[in-house]
């Protein structure tokens, strides 16, 4: 076999090692001892950063020196757009293999491995967070276990407190709220049950539930009733109105089967030891507090989108994540290049609104982009100043409304998991509410409902209320029972179509211009 064919076969073997990176672009080189290409994948519809693959013929391992590798990379990438340059490289010959981080602030340097396709989009986080790999593995495990739990409760371990698939999601959100509440508050936190003061951390534990069964389930429901109105999770709206995180039918924990409590708590609490990015143990027992807030939000969002059942008369549909990502990337590009908006962001005056927010998926993506904007665009500020600014953004920048009460609860929990329990998300029709201050938002991003609610024979009052609100929005000046008659005719002199509207005995004309 010739050396040229042998080198090409060696490169094919290397390419197969990165099969999860589904995209490939071969790179041309004038050097006969080099075969190279770029690979990348897609995460939630968005392309990942590139990885440079290089296979060398025997006797050319000098390219493993960072300066030499830079020179070779520049040559290989001469025709590649700057935005598509790789951030990692895999270099090998017939005997050696090395991995490199390319062109970063620390310069090209060797690393232990190339991140997987799931991790590489967050490559900067790997350098900053020493336990990020553990967190990503935990994230993957949580998603799988929650999906299994959802199907088991729906199909096998039925629960009298649950009526449909979306009820399961609501109950999971309440337990998730309690678990994050547990790890972020004092170990001595107590609640009252039958006149007794009980230690929350002792009761809210899968081992305790396994031992005490129905009694433990009853005690946990009592704890939820006490903690659901905690001031950390009460928001103040623009008119001074205060809203707790759980309202209406969501003010109670309906989960009844102790087996379901035990299974769900085990998912959130049995996380195993925390390890650093090199695999060394740094903590004997992990908790949700060790998982970055944005990953917790992602777990909840993925679980919700995978299991939410779009039905009923409120037009509740969840926007696909690639759509949210694309819209926010466009918006953030413009914000980053607008000095006035960036100054408002730095002054903590920036406000984001989703007026038909659903589970606040757009807001969750916006939060992620704003964090990245602060970290990458504010070069004159220290890391401490950036963290303080992000904290202010979490506390003051996010507003949302939805006409479905259950979605508002999910939205509030979603943002609370990401460190924004004070996000001003409330239950209202955003077209008619007075709780949204006009001209006070820098960015509005939403996917409004396009359907018409379906009302049954017993929904007469709801139907009347809906029609009254729609008339307020669409009619503005006319009462709900007004009758309109539209009479179009063509004005041959002005070459214009005119519509004569008969409205309660008054005649109002308007013109629609049509090309003739």
* Span 121-152, pLDDT tens digits: 776 666 667 787 788 788 888 988 998 988 88
Q: Where are the domains of the chain?
A: 3-123, 129-309, 314-451, 483-516
Q: In the 8-state DSSP scheme, what is residue 64?
A: G
- List of residues 6+ apart from 231 with CB closer than 8 A: none
Sign of CA dihedral 480, 485, 490, 491: negative
By C-alpha distance, which of 466, 475, 401, 477 is closest to 435? 401
- Residues of the chain with pLDDT below 70 are 1-2, 44-45, 81-83, 104-107, 123-128, 157, 309-317, 451-454, 469-516
**Using an 8 Å Cβ cutoff, are 230 and 412 in contact?**
no
Q: Which residues of 3-41 are buried (b: 16+ CB within 10 A; e: fewer)?
A: eeeebeebbeebbeebeebeeeeebeeeeebbbbbbbbb
What is the pTM (predicted TM-score) of this model?
0.69
**Using an 8 Å Cβ cutoff, are 225 and 253 in contact?**
yes
**Using an 8 Å Cβ cutoff, are 155 and 161 in contact?**
no
By C-alpha distance, which of 420, 463, 442 is closest to 340? 442
By C-alpha distance, which of 174, 225, 173, 223 is closest to 202? 223
By C-alpha distance, which of 318, 197, 217 is closest to 261? 217
What one-character-per-residue DSSP string does 196-239 give? EEEEHHHHSSHHHHHHHTHHHHHHHHHHHHHHTT-GGG-EE-TT
By C-alpha distance, which of 14, 401, 390, 10 is closest to 238? 401
Q: Tell me the C-alpha distance between 117 and 131, whole Å.
A: 18
CA 112-116-117 angle, to 5 degrees, is 145
pLDDT, position 485: 58
314-451: which CATH topology? Answer: Rossmann fold (3.40.50)
Q: How far is CA 105 from CA 101, 102, 124, 127, in A?
A: 10, 9, 11, 11
357-395 pLDDT, tens digit per residue, is: 988 989 998 998 899 889 888 877 888 999 999 999 999
Structure tokens at 419: 């460190």
pLDDT, position 512: 41
């Amino acid at each position: 076999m010739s050396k040229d064919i042998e080198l090409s076969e060696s490169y094919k073997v290397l390419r197969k090692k990165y099969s999860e990176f589904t995209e490939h672009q071969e790179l041309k080189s004038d050097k006969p001892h080099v075969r190279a290409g770029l690979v990348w994948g897609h995460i939630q519809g968005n392309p990942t950063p590139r990885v440079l693959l290089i296979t060398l013929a025997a006797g050319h391992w000098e390219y493993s020196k960072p300066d030499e590798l830079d020179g070779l990379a520049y040559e290989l990438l001469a025709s590649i757009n700057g935005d598509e340059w790789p951030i990692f490289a895999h270099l090998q010959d017939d005997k050696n293999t090395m991995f490199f981080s390319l062109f970063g602030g620390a310069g090209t340097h060797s690393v232990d491995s190339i991140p997987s396709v799931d991790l590489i989009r967050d490559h900067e986080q790997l350098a900053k967070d020493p336990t990020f790999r553990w967190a990503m593995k935990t994230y993957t495990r949580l998603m799988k276990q929650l999906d299994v739990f959802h199907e088991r409760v729906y199909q096998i371990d039925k629960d009298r407190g649950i009526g449909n698939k979306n009820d399961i999601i609501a109950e999971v959100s309440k337990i998730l709220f309690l678990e994050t509440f547990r790890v972020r508050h004092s170990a001595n936190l107590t609640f009252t049950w039958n006149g007794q003061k009980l230690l929350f951390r002792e009761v809210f534990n899968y081992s305790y539930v396994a031992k005490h069964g129905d009694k433990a389930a009853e005690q946990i429901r009592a704890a939820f009733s006490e903690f659901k109105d905690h001031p950390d999770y009460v928001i103040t709206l623009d008119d001074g109105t205060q809203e707790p995180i759980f309202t209406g039918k969501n003010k109670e924990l309906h989960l009844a089967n102790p087996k379901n409590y035990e299974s769900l708590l085990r998912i959130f609490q049995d996380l195993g030891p925390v390890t650093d990015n090199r695999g060394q143990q740094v903590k004997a027992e992990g908790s949700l507090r060790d998982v970055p807030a944005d990953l917790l939000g992602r777990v909840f969002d993925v679980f919700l989108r995978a299991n939410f059942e779009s039905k009923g008369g409120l037009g509740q549909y969840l926007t696909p994540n690639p759509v949210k990502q694309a819209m926010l990337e466009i918006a953030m590009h413009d914000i980053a290049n607008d000095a006035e908006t960036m100054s408002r962001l730095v002054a903590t005056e920036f406000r984001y609104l989703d007026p038909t927010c659903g589970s606040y998926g757009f807001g969750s993506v916006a939060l992620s982009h704003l964090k990245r904007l602060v970290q990458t665009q504010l070069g004159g500020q220290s890391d401490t100043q950036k963290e303080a600014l992000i904290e202010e953004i979490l506390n003051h920048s996010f507003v949302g409304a939805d006409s479905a009460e259950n979605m508002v609860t999910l939205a509030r929990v979603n943002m609370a998991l990401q460190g924004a329990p004070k996000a001003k998300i409330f239950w209202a029709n955003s077209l008619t509410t007075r709780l949204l201050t006009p001209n006070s938002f820098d960015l509005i991003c939403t996917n409004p409902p396009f359907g018409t609610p379906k009302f049954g024979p017993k929904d007469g009052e709801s139907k009347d209320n809906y029609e009254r609100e729609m008339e307020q929005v669409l009619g503005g000046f006319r009462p709900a029972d007004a009758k309109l008659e539209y009479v179009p005719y063509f004005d041959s002199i002005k070459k214009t179509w005119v519509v004569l509207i008969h409205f309660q005995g008054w005649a109002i004309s308007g013109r629609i211009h049509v090309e003739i």
